[in-house]
Amino acid sequence: MSVPVGHYQYDQVDRDFLEARIAEFSEQVARRIDGSLSEDEFKPLRLMNGLYLQLHAYMLRIAIPYGTIDSKQMRMFAHIARRYDRDYGHFTTRQNIQFNWIKLEETPDILRDLASVDMHAIQTSGNCIRNVTSDEFAGAAADELVDPRIHAEILRQWSTLHPEFTFLPRKFKIAISGSPHDRVAARFHDIGILARPGDDGRTVFRIFVGGGLGRTPIIGQEIFDAVPEERLLATLEAIVRVYNAHGRRDNIYKARIKILVQALGIDAYREAVEAELAQMDLEHYRLTPEMVDAIQARFAVPELSAPDNAAQELASKRRENPEFDLWVRSNTHPHREAGHIIAVVSLKPAGGIPGDATSAQMDRLADLADEYSFGELRITHLQNIVLGHVRQDRLYALWSSLKEVDLASANIGLIGDIVACPGLDYCALANARSIPIAQKLGARFGDASLQAEIGALRINISGCINACGHHHAGHIGLLGVDKRGEEFFQITLGGRAENGASIGTILGPALPEDDTVDAIARLVDRYLGIRQKGETFLDTLDRLGDAPFKEAAYETV
């Protein structure tokens, strides 16, 4: 396959740039090792290249722009896991991958291997515009209005190494979706963008600013409802400039754009952006239809064709095999093209580590992508993997292959689809371990029929207030807190990241780990006992408030 489906095709300029950047970093690593750079001098340099020092080793975070990779790139991850790490990697909520056992001296070699498949680790750390995230069903979903990846790529190019924006007051995260169903948590980003078709056939953008999780969770507010395509870059540039000029650099806890938007108010922020726009050279930032079309041309479009009986084939397989039927119900999404379907591969086996995949699984996923989905894979912000364009009559064969490598858990959007950050097992900032409690909960609710019975229910777990596991946005959120060196968990209920975003409210005092697992089990039991027909957990919570759940959770404590 020469032009990859689903992501941008690098050219020589891109490749030369990466090569120069790796040469520079190799030099810096050598100078760190021989002592000519101190740790204080080196740290910002390694962070700019995605290299963190965690509890047990260095961690390398690799950018996956808008979450899309091809099978060659996935095989490279498998190779890195085998050759330089401990045979696995961790997919994150920002659609990136992290390797946990990296050696400083080997990092330049890893970056060279990555560059050979047009990948890198730039802008995955530091106070810059981070990897732009997007809808995992982009270009495939039946409910999509506009494929957001073209503009995501334009934003990637605009933000990459933007001279004004490499030293912002704090990190800056942008997400873009092209569907009326927000699958990117747009309102929890510094800038969230929802694209839709305009009257003239070109795209227009609804833009939110000042959302974020972390220490101070805030829902983004709409700054513009309909920015025309040609003004997109100018508008974003102006938004970031206002932030860059006024954002607080004196206090890292107050440095995010969300704090500035709160301080000024959305109307004053909008006025400041408009004032900035009024004095900018708009022509310079104009995004012309030709420019957009040129980027679009660098994406190959899958040639979809399915036999007329594809849907019947799928329906008959579902009737024959209830286990398969259950998986189809939770792990697929309607495709825009007849005879096709979107398959979501869960990285949340019961009792497993959310988001982790072994090199063997990565290799197998790459093969399956080649076989079933034009060699394309997407990483979701809920730490799963999507094969976007599967023929309905071949879905059963795909599922059968997934089963062989323990990747057929039927739990997408259900209680077993737990999002968890690395927590205290790896992370130097953590208060508590996130993974073991995720494993216990996953095992407790592992049964696929039980999960289907419970219905839509998201659990999100963060090991500290930085909220990498998005606990504020979980229907049930768990936050690890430290009580005299021991691990406790605070439970929040009612968060949601989708349309109608909201922040969960704290249920009561934090509990030790095992008590937390029991409390959640009682709380879920209570929900099953009091829900009305057809209600989801959130519906019941909205109707009755959290009192019944509080009572259940703290029953025996």
Partner 1 sequence: MKRPVRVGAGEKLVLTANRLLDGTIVWRDRLGQWQPVIGAAEKLDAEGVSDVLDLAQARAQADGVVGVYEVAVRDVDPPEPVTVRERIRAHGPTVHPEFAVETVQ
Question: Can you tell me the distance from the alpha carbon of 315 to that of 342, in angstroms, rounded to the nearest whole number?
Answer: 15
The C-alpha atoms of residue 442 and residue 351 are separated, in whole angstroms, by: 5
Enumerate binding residues for partner 1 (CB under 8 A). Answer: 32-33, 35, 38-39, 53-58, 86, 102-105, 353, 424-426, 430, 432-433, 435-436, 439, 485-487
The pairing of beta strand 419-420 with beta strand 221-228: unpaired
C-alpha 473 chain-centroid distance: 13
410 near ligand SF4 (CB under 6 A): no
Smaller CB separation from ligand HEM, 126 or 178 = 126
CB of 535 to partner 1, least distance (A): 35
Which member of 422, 455, 477, 504 binds ligand HEM (CB under 6 A)? 422
Interacting partner of 390 out of partner 1, ligand SF4, ligand HEM, none (Cβ under 5 to 8 A depending on kind): none
Shortest distance (Å) from residue 526 CB to partner 1: 30
* Token representation of residue 436: 């073991």
Q: Does 481 bind ligand SF4 (CB under 6 A)?
A: no
Check binding of 467 to ligand HEM (CB under 6 A).
Answer: yes
Alpha helix (H) residue ranges in 279-358: 282-285, 289-296, 310-320, 322-331
Q: Is 553 in the site for ligand HEM (CB under 6 A)?
A: no
422 is a site residue for ligand SF4 (CB under 6 A)? yes
How far apart are the C-alpha atoms of 481 and 462, rounded to whole Å? 9
Q: How far apart are CA 79 and CA 366, in angstroms?
A: 12
98 close to 468: Cβ distance less than 8 angstroms: no
211: Cβ–Cβ under 8 A, 6 or more apart, which residues?
A: 186, 187, 188, 189, 190, 192, 218, 219, 220, 221, 258, 501
Residues 109-138: x where in contact with ligand SF4 by CB under 6 A, - otherwise, as a string: ------------------------------
Residue 526 C-beta: closest distance to ligand SF4, Å: 28
Rounded distance, CA 63 to CA 395, Å? 29
**Residues 319 and 328 sit within 8 Å (Cβ to Cβ):** no
140 vs 419 by CB, closer to partner 1:
419
CB of 214 to ligand SF4, least distance (A): 9
**Interaction between residue 141 and ligand HEM (CB under 6 A):** no
Q: Identify the three-state secondary structure at position 243.
A: helix
Q: Per CB under 6 A, does 517 bind ligand HEM?
A: no
Contact yes or no for 215/466 (Cβ under 8 A):
yes
Residues with Cβ within 8 Å of residue 519, at least 6 apart in sequence: 491, 511, 552, 553, 554, 557
Q: Which does 58 bind (CB under 5 to 8 A by kind): partner 1, ligand SF4, ligand HEM, none?
A: partner 1
User: Which one of 183-191, 423-431, 524-532, 543-551 is the stretch in contact with ligand SF4 (CB under 6 A)?
Assistant: 423-431
CA-based torsion, 404, 406, 407, 408: positive or negative:
positive
Strand partners, 391: 340
Shortest reach from residue 429's CB to ligand HEM, in Å: 5
Give the CA dihedral 394, 398, 400, 406, nearest 10 degrees: -170
Does residue number 213 form part of the binding site for ligand SF4 (CB under 6 A)? no
Single residue of 83, 86, 215, 319 touching ligand HEM by CB under 6 A: 215
Rule CB under 6 A: say whether 468 interacts with ligand HEM.
yes
Which tokens hold the place of 542? 């909205």
- Work out how close the CB of 473 gets to ligand SF4 at its nearest, in angstroms, rounded to a whole number: 13
Q: Minimum CB separation from ligand SF4 for residue 541, in Å?
A: 24
520 sits near ligand SF4 (criterion: CB under 6 A): no
For residue 534, CA distances in Å to 280, 312, 523, 528 come to 53, 28, 18, 11
Residues 229-258: x where in contact with ligand HEM by CB under 6 A, - otherwise, as a string? ---------------------------x--
Residue in 128, 272, 430, 520 binding ligand SF4, rule: CB under 6 A: 430
Binding residues (CB under 6 A) for ligand HEM: these are 52, 54, 59, 92-94, 98, 170-171, 173, 188, 212-215, 256, 421-422, 426-427, 429, 466-468
Binding residues (CB under 6 A) for ligand SF4: these are 421-423, 427, 429-430, 434, 462-464, 466-469
